[in-house]
Structure 1
Amino acid sequence: MFTSLGRYILLLRLSFRKPEKFSVYWAEIMREMVSIGLGSLGIISVISLFIGAVAVIQVAFQLTSPLVPATIAGSISRDSTILEFSPTISALVLAGRVGSSIASQIGTMRVTEQIDALEIMGVNAPGYLISPKIFAGITMVPMLNILSICLGLAGGYIACAASGDIAPADYVLGLRDGFLPITLQASLVKSFTFGFIITSVCAYQGFYTSGGALEVGQSATQGVVWSCIMILFADLIISRVML
């Protein structure tokens, strides 16, 4: 375990060395941002809408006491969406979609000796292959998180309007009532951290792949599993520290 941690830290250090040609790295960063950001819009949008709607329906189901104001559904759904549903569930989905792609892509380059060819030509392979993905991850995952929050709250409104369990006006009033900026700050810190975890862990698994196609698949699986575990652990730590 300590050996793997040392190799992980060394790989990160190599990834953030001064680039040989910045324009090439910048082009790779833009390409990765399009792949991670635009490529994930569809799945994040669908998941966020449904999660927001389900959250409101479940809160409304438990509001059985007439002493509890209906506006509390909006407040609970808002805080749950901002703090947990949007950053964490979106990150777990991205670990499966983006993380497996990163691990399999770099793993395939390793087993086909393309990484060795880059190193022979004097190119810093970790920097060229990994740092653009990390920069794209820590940039696009927070943006996807903000989109997920907005769509989750919109999904809750649609659920209120469609079901009639809670008046949409009460839901909107609950969204505005008692909002604490620290919840949004914690959500953005989480998404930033999750973006770094997904890209760096999966890149590490792919970079040290050895063997053939079977091992590439195993590296992709291990990258997703370890990313999910570290995401949940980081979620716990950030929640405890910031809240």
Structure 2
Amino acid sequence: MAASKHHFLAETGGMARFVWRFFREVFRPRYEVQEFLYQCYVVGYQSLPLVSITGFIMGLVLTLRLHPTMVTFGAESWIPAMAGLTIIREVAPLISALMVAGKVSSDMGAELGAMRVSEQIDAMEVSGSNPFKYLVVTRVLATTLMMPILSILAATIGLYAAYLGVNMHTVTPLLMFTNDILKPLTFGDVLPALLKTFFFGFAIGIIGCYKGYYCQEGTEGVGRAANSAVVVSSLVIFVLDLLAVQISNLLGFN
């Protein structure tokens, strides 16, 4: 019990120092623009199919599950509005973040872990370059920027899937469906959902890079780093989502 508590505190302290180092390095030149753009492409390209398929399935399933209940209460006309609010406010940001965490965070942990155990990072430090700037800062910025874009894409595909789900039971024109979604939608629904995706992306990148950058114990440690990156980043996403809901309620975005 004491050992696990000590390990948790050590990991928390190490993560705090890692985050502080990131913010210290991110504003210092030289800026690795080319590597940053490449990492944006990698994060977006790797996550695009998974996020798209997941968004489509979640939008369709949500609509099909809502239909029987709403029909029972005589509120079938509210299905587009409820599906739209649920997808935009919660489903798209959270599910897309979990998908990206499962794919990107594990890849970062494994890639940087392999570079650590093969002493490539040590060689970069000896040569006088800044491996933290090149490997960590670019990846964290890429996930922070790409996560909102992927979330918007997931929401768009999810809403289209919801439209297909509604039309499995009734014939609803696309324009009417769109109006039913936009009518109850407010700025307070969109802004918190968009803002929290930046924090989701930052958490995914920083945790994946931290686990890989300080990987130990050879090739076996690389697998543990990748697995730990997924587990921790997924847990942090749920915690951040809970905090985002509480803060939104306090600020009146409800």
**TM-score, structure 2 as length reference:** 0.88
Count of residue pairs the alignment pairs up: 239
Aligned partners of 1:217 and 1:211: how far apart in 2?
Answer: 10
Gaps of 5+ in 2: 1-7, 250-254
Report the CA distance between 1:92 and its aligned residue: 0.6
Matching residue's letter, 1:38: Y
Say if 2:21 is the partner of 1:14: yes
CA contact 1:197–1:231 (8 Å) conserved in 2: yes
1:147 is aligned to 153
Which residue pairs with 1:55 in the alignment? 62
- Give the Cα separation in 2 of the matches to 1:174 and 1:102: 41
- The 5-angstrom pairing of residues 1-243 of structure 1 reads 1-15=8-22, 16-17=24-25, 19=28, 21-22=30-31, 25-65=32-72, 67-68=74-75, 70-161=76-167, 163-165=168-170, 167-168=172-173, 171-243=177-249
Note if contact 1:205-1:222 (Cα within 8 Å) is conserved in structure 2.
Answer: yes
- CA deviation vs aligned residue, 1:182-214 (integer Å, no higher than 9, x gap): 111111112111000000011111111111211
Q: Partner letter of residue 238 of structure 1?
A: A
User: TM-score, structure 1 length as denominator?
Assistant: 0.92
Measured in 2, the distance between the counterparts of 1:118 and 1:13 equals 21
String of CA shifts for 1:132-177, please: whole Å, max 9, x gaps: 011101111100111111111011111222x125735664342122
Aligned partners of 2:83 and 2:95: how far apart in 1?
15
Q: 1:166 to 1:57 in 2, by over 3 A?
A: farther
Distance of 2:224 and 2:138 partners within structure 1: 23
Give the counterpart letter for 2:153 in structure 1. Answer: L
Question: Quick check: 104-113 or 11-20, which moved more?
Answer: 11-20
Q: What is the percentage of aligned positions where both structures have the same residue?
A: 26
TM-fit CA distance, 1:61: 1.6
SS of the residue corresponding to residue 72 of structure 2 reads coil
For residues 88 and 193 of structure 1, the distance between their equivalents in structure 2, rounded to whole angstroms, comes to 11
* DSSP-derived class of the 1:178 partner: coil
Give unmatched runs, 5+ long, in structure 1.
none
Q: How far did 1:67 drift?
A: 3.8
How far off is 1:98 after superposition?
0.4
In 1, the alpha carbon distance for the partners of 2:29 and 2:144 equals: 22
Q: Indicate conservation of the 8 Å contact 1:83/1:183, yes or no.
A: yes
Once residues 148 and 217 of structure 1 are traced to their aligned partners in structure 2, the CA distance between those partners, rounded to angstroms, is 29
User: 2:135, 2:178 → 1: CA distance?
Assistant: 45
Distance of 1:59 and 1:146 partners within structure 2: 22
